[in-house]
Structures are given as C-alpha cells and as structure tokens.
Chain A
Amino acid sequence: MIKFERFELSNGLKVIAHRDPTSPIIAMNIIYKVGSRDESVRRTGFAHLFEHLMFGGSTNIPKFDIPLEKAGGENNAFTNSDFTNYYLTLPKNNLEVAFWLESDRMNNLAFSQASLDVQRQVVIEEFKQNYLNQPYGDAYLLLKPLAYKKHPYRWNTIGKEISHIEKASMNYVKSFYKKYYNPNNAILSIAGDISISEIELLSKKWFEPIRKGKDIDILYPNEPIQTKQRKKSVFRNVPQNAIYMAWHMPKRADIRFYHCDLISDILSNGNSSRLFRKLVKEKSVFSEINAFVTGDLDNGLFIIIGKLMDNKTMDMGVEAINNEINILSTDLISKYEHEKVMNKIESNLIFSQISVLSKAMNLGYYELLGDAEKWNKELEIYRSIQRADILNTACKIFQAKNQNTLLYNRL
C-alpha cells in the first residue's frame, strides 16, 4: 500500500504527495495532459518538440538544467501519444529548488528563437538516430497508419515526417504553450522524505499564483471499427525478415485492457511464455518474438513483433503466430498459467514501489487515469480476472478482420 495525500490548488493544479522517510532523495513529477494525439495532422511531432523547448529557458531561469545541477539534481522527460511527463530528483534539503524550477516554466517560457532553432535540429537528429538510421527503425512509422485511419494515433510521437518539425514556428509554439501548459491541465506528484504540510505550503507559494488556463475539452475522432484484414509489405536493407502484427484493443481504463495485458504476458513474458517456448525454442521459426499492449488512453493496439529465422518464410511466420492466437481464442488458459502470470504481475508491481522516482511517476500516472488510488487497487483488479474473461477478450480481439500485418522484408 502506498499512502499519499492529494489536494487541488485554486488554479486547478492537482498535487499528490507521498512520504518515504528512508530516502535522501526527493522525486518530483509533472504530467501535462498533452501528447501527439493533440497534434494537427499537418504539424505532427510537435508535442515532443515542445518537450525539448521546455528546457530552453523560462522567464527567470535561462537554462533549466544549470540551477538544477547546482542543487545536485537530475531530470528528464518523455512524450507519448497521450501526455508529456517531466521528472526530476534532487537531495531532499533542496526541495524548494524543484518547486522554483517547475513553477517558473509553468508560469512562463522565455520563447527564445535560438532555442527553437537548435531544438528543431536536435529533434531531427533524434528522428534520424532512432527511426531512420537503424534497422527496423521506421516500422512503427509504417504500422501505426496501417492500423489507424482516423484517430491521431495514426502518427508516431516523433512525427510523421521531418518536414513537420522543420516547419515549426514560434507563433505556434506560443499558442501551444498557452493552450496546454496550464496548472489546470497538469498533475504534480512528489515522493520522498517530506512533510505533507510543507508540500502544501510550497505548492501554494510557487504554483498557486500561476493563472489558470481555459479548460480543454477535446473529443478525439473515434477510430472506425476495422472491417477487413490489412496487410502491407516493404523491402529494406535489414539482416532478417520481420513480422509486425497489430490488433485494435480497448483503452487503458477498460477492464478488458487488463485481459489483454495478461494475454501479452502469457504470450511473451518470460522464458516459459508460449511464443518463446514454441516459436523460438521448439520450432525455431523466430530468433526473437514479443507481444505487448500499447496501454493508450484511447483504444490502443495489441502488438506482436517477430524476427524470422533465415530458413523460414514469411508465410510460415504468419501462420505460426496465427496458430497461437487461435489457441488463445478457443481454449481456456490452464490454472497453472493463470497463477503464473498473476505472480509475475505481483512481483513487478511490488518492485515498482521501491524507488521514490518510480513512486512519484506512478502516482501521477494513475491520477491521470482518474485516481492515484488506482495504483493500490491494481493487483486486486488483476486478481479478479477469471480465465473465461481472458478467453472472451481473446476471441473478440483476435478476429482476422481486426488484424494488421506489416511484412518487413530483407532486400
């Protein structure tokens, strides 16, 4: 059980505080509810570029990192389809520095043209390094638009193309900031050797004067239900053939998300998992294979990725995966397998409750899902799932008409 206190400032900022007296380190996490799903189709990659700009100086702090490093701190950030997450850790007696830093960039950015020019270049390098310059790097750039036709999940967080990032203008940066980077669109969470009253005091002091923004009420376009199997084949200079398969699945808040998560564990979590056992070890169809869920706030994807052995054809690979999927859709998993995945879930969950950073991040994330207390209920939810639930959901998800296949061929 992770105990925490929660309150809301008059400007709408939600604050969560967890006390861990054993650590000399404080972790602070801020989630802004803006991700690549909020981008327009002609300006993709912007939420992530913006994350970089958040380090390029605010009104009173020309460079975010310098004072933080002076206070013995370290930080980083990431952007995904749904939100942008900033986190930092620093020695506990420098707690107020964290409040000063994060509140200043929520209060007002400096909007430096030089920072925008450089960060555009940095992000373009990131695009090249992770998506273009390495084998299979563009697979998601291909898979997402195959699976999504309407919903903004059809592009990746890094963006659809480099030209979108090249075109990012200062005017757009400003309006984006004004729209999304507001206290009422953010969640602040803190873990460490703190007192709750001190957190209340500091939150009021540094964050409450920040003006509330306009409430945002966005409706994302619903992805139409897929009615026909989709396939795409590409040829690239890669060492081995690979198969990417994706099925639409329910959103994170849906109970069936948990079913899908368990299915992905049954398929590929650990050396006794089905795909590894049968398709890698026994039949040597793949050299590696993985199944996972995207866990998005809107309806997400169930993904399987396999790298084919040289002496196996694409057809054999596809058939092998489909066989396993069919078994899950027809037979109940065994009691033994059921208990196994539950035990694994329990280990991982407890493990995530050890470090202050992980605690601050998770509390913020579950609050984003609707209630930080959900983190404490997570194991209970998993435990409530019956084998029949898993079978039912597998049947629904793994229909051929819901399937998207990307064949990534070696040239």
Chain B
Amino acid sequence: MHINRSKMPTTGKHIQLNISEPNMVILDNGIETYIIDEGEVDFTRLDFVFNAGSAIQNKGLIAESTIQLLADGTNTMSSEDIAKKLDFHGAIIDTNLTKDKASLTLYSLNKQLPKLLPILKDMFENASFEEYELSNYINRKRHQFSLNIDKVKFKAMLEFNKLIFGSDSSYGRVKELSDYDAVLRQDLVSFYNSQYTPQNTYIIASGSVKSDTISNINKYFGTNQGKPVIGSINKFQVVDVTSINKFIKKEGSLQSAIRIGKPVIGKQHQDYNSLIVLNTILGGYFGSRLMSNLREQKGFTYGVNSYIMNYQHGNYWSIATEVNADHTDEAIDEIRFEINRLMNEKVSNTELDIVKNYIYGTYLRSFDGPLAKAERFRSAKDLDLNFEHYVSSLDEMMTQTPKQLHTIANEYCNYEKMIVLVVGKTKNDNIAI
C-alpha cells in the first residue's frame, strides 16, 4: 500500500454540537432539577448547587467551612455514621466552592442511590456543625494553609485576586491565616440556614437517570420548605481598583510566579467571543504563542497559560506562569512582547485556522457524555446562560477574521493597563515592573 507520510490526511467537516437543553423538573418545593439522561453505564451524577459562594459570606472561611462540614454530622447522625454509610454504598463525593456558588457532587451506581439520597437530604437540612468537628477541621485546614502559602504559585493566586478586585471587595477578599482563628460555629449555622434553602438551590442529574431516580429526588429533596431566615446576608461590595504592580520577594525561591492581567468584559458582551479567540492565540492551548515562546523556544518554564475567569459580577483575564527565577525579568519582557504583538500585527489565517479548530475540538470534548455536559451546564447556569449560548458562541468564534481580532485586540489588550504581580525574585528588587 502506498502511503504519503508528508501529507496530512484531510480533516472532516465540523460535527454539529449535539446538545439539546436539559429537561427541567420542578420539585414540590420549587427546586429546579435539570436532567441530562444519556448514559449507557448504570451510573448517575448529582450536582447540588447552592447560592453559598465565598462572596456571600460575612467573614473569611465561612462559605468554605460550611460546604466542607456538611458531611460531619447532623442532628441524628454523627460524622462517623455518615462517613461509614457513604463509603459503604460506594459514594464518590466532591465539594466545590466558587465566589458565587457552593456545590456538592455525588457519583453513584444507580443501585446504591436509594440508600444515599436520604443521607444527603439529612446533610442539606439538618447539618449540626458540632464545635468539636469544627475545631478539628479548622486545625487541619490551618496546617494545610500554612503549607500552601509557602508555594509561590498559591501566594500569587491569592495576591492577584486582591489586586484585580480590590482587597476589600466581596470578590477580592481572600483567606488569611488569622481567619482560621475567627470562625465560630454560629457563623456557619447562620450561613447554612440562610443559604442552603430550596430557594437558593438547584440540582443537575446526569448519566443514566432513571424515572425512579427522579421521583426519589423529589421524595427526598422536594419536601424541605426551608427555615425562617434571621439576619441578612452580606451585601455585595465592589471597590474601585486602580491598577498597581506588585512584587513580593521570596528568599531562596528557585521559581518566580508571574500573574499579568486585568478585569474584562463578560460572556454576554458582544466582543467576548473575539476575546476568547485572542486569548486562545495568546496562551489558551499548548501551541499558543506564550507556550511556544516561553517554554518551547526559551525553556524558561514548564508551562504558561492565559485564561478568562467568569463570575456573576465580574470577570478577569490573566496570564499565569511559574518561571526559572533567574529569568523572571526576561519572561515578563516576552509576555509583554506577545501581548503587544496581538495589537501590532494581524494574526495569520494559518494560525487562526489552527486556533479555531482547536476551540471546536475543545467544545466537542467538553460536551462528550452526560457527565461532561453536566459540568458545562453548570458553568452556564451559574452565569444565567444555557446550552444555546454555547452553540451561538461557538458559531461566532468560527467566523472571526484577522481584521476583527486586530480591532478587538487594540481595544482590550493594552499591556500598560494590566496589573503585574511577581512572587519570587527579580534581578532588581526595586524595579517598577
């Protein structure tokens, strides 16, 4: 058989994204439950999402401790009882916290679900937050925090968040070591009573979702009417941020963590899809300009990427990397060079073509299977969007032209307006970065 290895096999046309909106079922108490039933494997994933993110808390660590202590005791079951039952029935449980939401995800074989749902119900309605459990938890977490804060990467993540949103704003506040000494049981109880209510909850059921699973969901999660709320939750606070650059010295560090970025437009904005394409070109995939430059050509780093973070009340764009500390200044120069390049020259059709195909492939992958779809649905829903939004965004990204992108780059990519943070070392400690 003759083969021509020098020529890439022709690629096929883009496959249409196969995503229809999930079915929505409203439980007896009004909780919206979204069903993504496509599974071949006898397995279900349940996401319980609460308006209980860190931006809503009055004090550091409250949102985090609340979601993580749900399984540590209820009025009728001890932490050990719960752990034993969940483990016995093979439950895999994940919790997640963002600025806006807290969530608990259960992965379970369908045959085990009827045993697991009542336990979850109890956790969501009657968590007890015993003093003993709280102090045990806080002690462990304090240890982990002091461990993490030694890493340039972790330190940079916290500091950058403060610079972007302002350290006194709801989004900008980050945890500090002293927060671990200030958490009180009563803080958790109030937060739990006000935020873990049916009005603040939605559910996603994905996988092989049987009809008896849906009726069980209603049976266990559709009866709670919530508790009367005493006191008010935190008011969302925004502060004006003037962009400043910051350098935090870390003695003896082999690497410097660099974060460069700024607040940007959100998903609903008409320029957003262009910005995503620009971001991908810059640092959104393995073959990106930053990766080729900093890693593949210079060997300064093991990895560099750029991304846009979206929240309900704010978004930011950031470049993140850890580089060989001896090359910190050169790395920053190269990042500036690559950002300026977006504004100075049009992207070639060849490069744009690669990026579009990469984005398309990423979309296809991220909707592969019901569990992946649940993940995507959640991130849309949290920003009040739906699946239809993904389809139209993808279409729009696929039609971007070099000229359009060049215009958008000049509007949004000005390096002089970015915040630069370095944790580690630079050649000259006094530099204005």
A-side interface residues toward B, CB under 8 Å? 22-25, 59-60, 63, 65-67, 69-74, 89-94, 96-97, 99-100, 103-104, 107, 117-122, 124-126, 128-129, 132-135, 204-206, 209, 237-240, 269-273, 277, 280-281, 284, 287-288, 307, 309-310, 336, 339-340, 343-344, 346-348, 350-351, 353-356
Contacts and interface: CB of A to CB of B under 8 A. Distances in A.
B112 interface: yes
A91 B15 contact: yes
A125 B42 CA distance: 43
15 contacts: A25-B368, A60-B5, A60-B6, A63-B287, A66-B287, A69-B285, A92-B15, A119-B299, A125-B323, A125-B324, A271-B83, A307-B143, A350-B42, A355-B369, A355-B372
- Which 4 A/B pairs are nearest by Cβ-Cβ distance? A121-B299, A72-B361, A93-B12, A347-B90
B87 A340 contact: yes
Nearest to B108: A347
A22 B40 contact: yes
A24 B364 contact: yes
Given A66-B287, A70-B353, A89-B365, A238 B147 contact: yes
A122 B88 contact: no
A135 B286 contact: no
B80 interface: yes
B84 interface: yes
Given A309-B143, A355-B368, A71 B361 contact: yes
Interface residues of B, number: 77
Interface in B288-327: 295-302, 322-324
Contacts of B430: none
A204 B1 contact: yes
B151 A134 contact: yes
A118 B90 CA distance: 46
A72 B354 CA distance: 8
Given A72-B360, A94-B12, A135 B140 contact: no
Given A24-B18, A69-B354, A74-B362, A344 B87 contact: yes
Contact of A59 (B1, B5, B143, B253): B5
A70 B143 contact: no
B143 A287 contact: yes
B369 A354 contact: yes
B11 A356 contact: no
B355 to A, nearest CB: 8
B146 interface: yes
Contact of A125 (B143, B300, B360, B364): B300
Given A348-B92, A351-B107, A240 B324 contact: no
Nearest to A307: B143
Nearest to A127: B302
A19 B83 CA distance: 38
Contact of A239 (B71, B147, B322): B147
Contact of A209 (B3, B253, B372): B3
A67 B79 CA distance: 52
A91 B366 CA distance: 12
B254 A128 contact: yes
Nearest to A265: B87
A107 B5 CA distance: 10
Interface string B73-105: 000000110111011111110000000000000
A271 to B, nearest CB: 4
Contacts of A288: 140, 143-144
Contacts of B107: 347, 351
A133 B295 CA distance: 18
Contacts of B301: 122, 125
Q: Most chain-A Cβ atoms within 10 A of its Cβ — which of B42, B136, B147, B285?
A: B147
A107 B369 CA distance: 34
A346 B324 contact: no
A138 B364 CA distance: 39
Contact of B361 (A65, A73, A128, A269): A73
B55 interface: no
A331 B287 CA distance: 56
B8 A97 contact: yes
A23 B41 CA distance: 13
B228 interface: no
Contact of A353 (B6, B41, B84): B41
Interface of A is mostly: helix
B276 interface: no
A98 to B, nearest CB: 9
A240 B147 contact: yes
Contacts of A90: 361
B415 interface: no
A347 B299 contact: no
Contact of B299 (A70, A125, A135, A280): A125
A346 B109 contact: yes
B71 to A, nearest CB: 7
Interface string B201-236: 000000000000000000000000000000000000
B302 A126 contact: yes
Contact of B253 (A133, A273, A284, A346): A133
Given A90-B361, A94-B12, A346-B109, 10 more contacts: A60-B6, A69-B358, A72-B11, A72-B358, A118-B298, A118-B299, A133-B254, A288-B140, A343-B90, A347-B90
B9 A97 contact: yes
B369 A120 contact: no
Q: Most chain-B Cβ atoms within 10 A of its Cβ — which of A99, A238, A271, A273?
A: A271
Interface string B152-163: 100000000000
A65 B296 CA distance: 12
B143 A72 contact: no
A70 B140 CA distance: 47
Nearest to A288: B140
Contacts of B285: 69, 74
Contact of B38 (A22, A63, A107, A287): A22
Contacts of A22: 38, 40, 369
A284 B132 CA distance: 11
Contacts of B140: 280, 287-288
B371 interface: yes
A271 B87 contact: yes
B269 interface: no
A23 B369 contact: yes
A262 B346 CA distance: 58
A90 to B, nearest CB: 6
Contacts of A119: 299
A238 B253 CA distance: 13
Contacts of B274: none
A89 B324 CA distance: 31
B114 to A, nearest CB: 14
Contact of A354 (B41, B84, B89, B287): B41
Contact of B364 (A25, A120, A353): A25
A184 B302 CA distance: 32
A36 B77 CA distance: 49
